[in-house]
Amino acid sequence: MLNFLLRRLATLLPTLIGVTLVAFGLIRLVPGDPIAIMMGERALDDATHARLMHELGLDQPLWRQYADYVGGLLHGDLGRSLVSHEPVSHEFLALFPATAELALFALLLAIVLGMALGTGAALRRGSLLDQGVMGVATVGYSMPVFWWGLILIMFFSVGLGWTPVSGRIAVEYDVQRVTGFMLVDAAFHDEPGAWRSALRHLLLPALVLGTSTTAVIARMTRSSLLEVLREDYMRSARARGLSPARVVLVHGLRNALIPVITVIGLKVGSLLAGAVLTETIFSWPGIGKWLIDAIARRDYPVVQAGILISACTFIAVNLLVDLLYGVVNPRIRKQG
Amino acid sequence: MSPPRDMNAMPATTAPPQASAPPGPFAEFWRGFSANRGALVALVVFTVLALAALLAPWIAPHDPVRQYREAMLTPPIWMDGGQARFLLGTDELGRDLLSRLLHGARVSLGIGLASVVLSLIPGVLLGLLAAFHQRLLAPVVMRVMDVMLALPGLLLAICVITVLGPGLTNTVIAIAIGSLPEYVRLTRAAALAELGKDYVTASRVAGASTRRLMFSAVLPNCLAPLIVNASLSFSAAILEAAGLGFLGLGVQAPTAEWGTMLSSARDYIVRAPWVVTLPGLAILLSVLSVNLMGDGLRDALDPRLKRAS
């Protein structure tokens, strides 16, 4: 297993270097004088201009700039925001749990819902339930995230008044930040109702973000379970007199899991991209909204860091999925 | 294959394969495609959308950017207060929604088509080059593609937009760059599978140049997965363009683009829900129809792939 991990890490190195090159190049590729672009309308005298050039290291030769940049990254230095003048890494650490909570909850929702729907459809193949689930899944897969969010807000928040429109928790709760996961922190908060409020804030954004993943997982679970149900070991499990539920849940789903895990890995990218849109709709204070706001404010160090972090998250999660894949299917970690 | 029987009694397109002459490539394709009912319905819907996009300047009742200030936020005709001259109502600036949707189809489908072409052609070329020059080019090309794949579609597009700035052309470029790696990988994989086959060796022995091998021998046999992928990336492009527009990074107002329309409509969820629902429905309908058509394409093209290998 360790060998497998090391091999995978070695193939990732060129990709990681490439990603730092992209993030590094981002500021420098913007046409025109970078300082003037960052400052926008604000007028600059030559001294400030030179100071900023020096502060950002833009007066150094390119290779030196890159070396400094990577050196800084290795020390956890992501630069400073041009707007708040805070270290980017501080802002990132403050916001990352919000995105992680949203994405994980969305993924959890998608896995539970998707596998339940897919299993139901596979067991009642050809029935109305099957057709319904597959129809809904096809629509869900094609759904524009941002519009779906607006529609759900319209229905649940504005129409029924069930869920709040934005934010992570109602303003009256002053939850102390420990883990950064609002659901966890609110659970340990003594004011009654804090946890419920956090959950109600999280539910709709997570549902929106998880929709297309739910659809794909449902489709994948159905087709791979249908394949597994035909296998001999399933017949022998039934012949041994195991209960139908045990046959399907233990023997069937376990073996149908591998393609489902692959799909989850593939969908992580769309979860990250979807987070940008979902956070914008629900004013969710996470990395995605941070990135979009930074672009609007031309806060390039933040954009740079946001892109770099998203790419690294994506790479890391894919690695995790690969490892999980090896755990579920021992054949994979044996081969080169 | 059995010899042809009475062709008049049994048209080649509907007869079971063992009873008829080998169908032509198109008839064979159509049989596979039309067996998928969803794909057929989607084809009809998509044709309507494509016609609307093509004919928008002639069939749209109003100029899409003309503001009727006296008729701001007029509801659609089936709601109270609807007016016959604005069938689907107007937006917050009094622009006719139907006309904007029709012109929006032009923009959205246009972006989809342009970005597919712009990523398909360089993607196929790079993929073929990487397949034919395993030692020299492949490592470089594939590593670059790995880096591009490390950024999920929309984020890569945001990167490109950050550098180039928003706008219609830049949206197309950003999306095309984002879907380039898929084509490169797909073409390379398909081409590598073909390269080991006897017909390629035969062609090489017969003295065919590399260019001829690439385009006349190998490429036509790699087309099926490329076509399926093109349909998928077409729908993804529509979604991404709308997403960029929604974030304010795509096509800029006042151009009628579905995503951009949604982003300005957000504040009217309560007062004028039609401003929000209709552009989104248009996006959903076009993405859905293209995806369903893609399923049909796969049904029609995949069996042939299996038989060929």
- pLDDT at res. A228: 82
Does residue B213 contact residue B203 with C-beta atoms inside 8 Å? yes
Q: Of the candidates B147, B259, B277, which has its C-beta nearest A18's C-beta?
A: B147
**Beta carbons of B153 and A270 less than 8 Å apart:** yes
Which chain A residue lies closest to B274 (C-alpha atoms)? A151
Q: Residues A266-317: pLDDT tens digits?
A: 777 778 888 888 998 888 888 888 888 888 887 888 888 888 888 888 888 8
Option in A277, A292, A311 nearest B150 (CB): A311
Q: How far is A284 from chain B (nearest CA, A)?
A: 14
Beta bridge partners of B96: B90
Q: What is the pLDDT of residue B18?
A: 54
Q: What's the whole-number average pLDDT of chain A? A: 81
**Backbone φ, ψ for residue B148 (5° rounding):** -65, -35
Predicted local confidence at residue B288, as pLDDT: 93
pLDDT at B74: 79
pLDDT value of position A90:
87
- Residues 148-187 of chain A with CB under 8 A from chain B are 148, 150-151, 153-154, 158
Cis peptide before B166, with omega less than 30 degrees from 0?
no
In this structure, what is the dihedral angle of CA atoms B55, B59, B63, B65, given to the nearest 10 degrees? -50
Q: Which residue has the tokens 């070396």?
A: A67
pLDDT digit string, tens, across residues B6-33? 444 444 444 455 556 677 778 878 887 8
A chain contacts of residue B246, beta-carbon cutoff 8 Å? 146, 277, 280
Residue A125 and residue B238 in contact, taking contact as beta carbons nearer than 8 Å: no
Please give the pLDDT value at position B20.
61
Inter-chain touch B151–A280, beta carbons under 8 Å: no
Q: Does A237 touch chain B (CB under 8 A)?
A: no
* Residue found under tokens 């084809």: B43
| Res B307: pLDDT | 38
φ, ψ of residue A87 in degrees (nearest 5): -60, 135
Q: Decide if B208 contacts B216 (C-beta within 8 A).
A: yes
Low-confidence stretches of chain A (pLDDT beneath 50): 336
Structural tokens at position B230:
């093109």
- Contacts of residue A17, Cβ cutoff 8 Å, sequence gap at least 6: none
Instruction: Give the three-state DSSP class for A31.
Output: coil
Which residue type occupies A311? Answer: A
Respond yes or no on whether ipTM tops 0.85: no
What pLDDT, on a 0 to 100 scale, did the predictor assign at position B135?
Answer: 85
Candidate from A154, A300, A307 with C-beta closest to B273? A154
**Contacts for A59-67 with beta carbons within 8 Å, 24 or more apart?**
A62/A28, A65/A24, A66/A21, A66/A24
Indicate the DSSP class of residue B60.
-
Residues of chain B contacting residue A275, judged by C-beta atoms under 8 Å apart: none
Please state at what angle helix B153-164 crosses helix B219-246, rounded to 10 degrees: 70
Report the distance separating Cα B306 and Cα B196, nearest Å.
16
Place of tokens 């979009």: A292
Q: What is the pLDDT of residue A174?
A: 73
Q: What is the pLDDT of residue B10?
A: 44
Is A310 close to B269, i.e. CB distance below 8 A? Answer: no
- Flag residues of chain B having pLDDT under 70: 1-21, 302-309
Give the pLDDT of residue A85.
Answer: 80
- The pLDDT, as a whole number, for residue B5 is 44
Residue of chain A nearest B269, judged by CA positions: A154
CA distances from A97 to A101, A145, A318 (A): 6, 21, 19
Predicted pLDDT of residue B290: 92
**CA A46 → CA A1, A217, B233, distances in Å?**
58, 57, 48
